[in-house]
Amino acid sequence: MNQDLLNILSESNKEVDNQLLMDYLSGKLKQEEQHLVEEWLTDNPFAADAIEGLQTYGNKEDINEVVNQLNKELRQYLQNKRERREKRRWKDNPLTYLAVVLLLVLIIIAYYIVRLAARQ
């Protein structure tokens, strides 16, 4: 089996081995092992839905293409999210720090001017 197919199930429950699930999909399991996987799937509806979705693809080449596309979109989404997070940081923008310092200085000066004016 292609290693990318195993990546789909990488975050799945470790009670059942990922290779076992892939063998279940391809029909390579013995009757006993198949029964154990089916019992596990009845207790885990999310995994059962995922297996059912993978079973709808008849051609293994289609599964490889879908997995590659999903992985590519996931990497792009995570990269975009990382870039947005980096843009929100202030450490790389010294003008923001300068503006904050100037604003604080102006507030302090205004406070002292108002206080001096109140004494007179």
For 40-63, write each residue's pLDDT tens digit: 888 888 878 877 877 777 666 666
Indicate the average pLDDT of the chain. Answer: 78
pLDDT of residue 41: 85
pLDDT of residue 108: 97
**Chain centroid, CA 110 distance in Å:** 48
Question: Which of 118, 26, 1, 8 minimizes the C-alpha distance to 70?
Answer: 8
Which of helix, strand or coil describes residue 30? coil
Average pLDDT (28-35) is 86
Residue 56's Cβ-side half-sphere holds a number of Cα atoms within 13 Å equal to 6
For residue 99, give the amino acid letter.
A
Answer whether residue 105 shows pLDDT above 70.
Answer: yes
pLDDT band at 1, cuts 50/70/90? very low
Q: Is 66 exposed, middle or buried (0-12, 13-18, 19+ CB in 10 A)?
A: middle
Q: Which pTM was predicted? A: 0.40
